Amino acid sequence: QVQLVESGGGSVQAGGSLRLSCVASGATHITKIMGWFRQAPGKEREGVAATSPGGSITRYADSVKGRFAISRDNAKNTLYLQLNSLTPEETAMYYCAAGAAGSSYLAAQSYPYWGQGTQVTVSS
C-alpha cells in the first residue's frame, strides 16, 4: 500500500501563487508515475499535471501550461506542484496520485493511489 499526504493549499488572490507538496510513504517502490488532479464542486476530477518516474517527462493540461510546474524529489518521496497566476476558476480540491509506469499520465483511472486532497481557494 501507498499513502499520500498533500499539503500547501490555502487561500490566495487571483494572480497569486502556491506550492503544493505530496509526501509518499509505504510501498513507494511502486509509485512510478505521479500526478496532480483537481476537482471543483459539481465538476469532474481533471488531470492537471503528471510526471514520469525519474521526472524527465512531464504532462500538463492545456489550461495550466506555462503557469504550473510539476517536479519530484525521489530521495524525499515528495511530489511538488508550483501554481502561478491562479484564477478564481481554479478553486478546487487538489489531489496527489500515484500509479504504475507506462500508464496514461493525465487519466485518473491510471492511478490506484490517492491522497486526501488539499484545498486551493482563489478569490477575485
pLDDT at 102: 66
pLDDT (tens digit per residue) in 92-104: 999 999 998 766 8
In the predicted model, is pLDDT for residue 91 greater than 90?
yes
Which alpha helices (H) appear in the chain, and where do they start and end?
Answer: none
CB atoms within 10 A of CB 11: 12
pLDDT (tens digit per residue) in 56-67: 999 999 999 999
For the residues 69-95, what does the mean pLDDT come to? 97
- List the grid coordinates of 115: 491522497
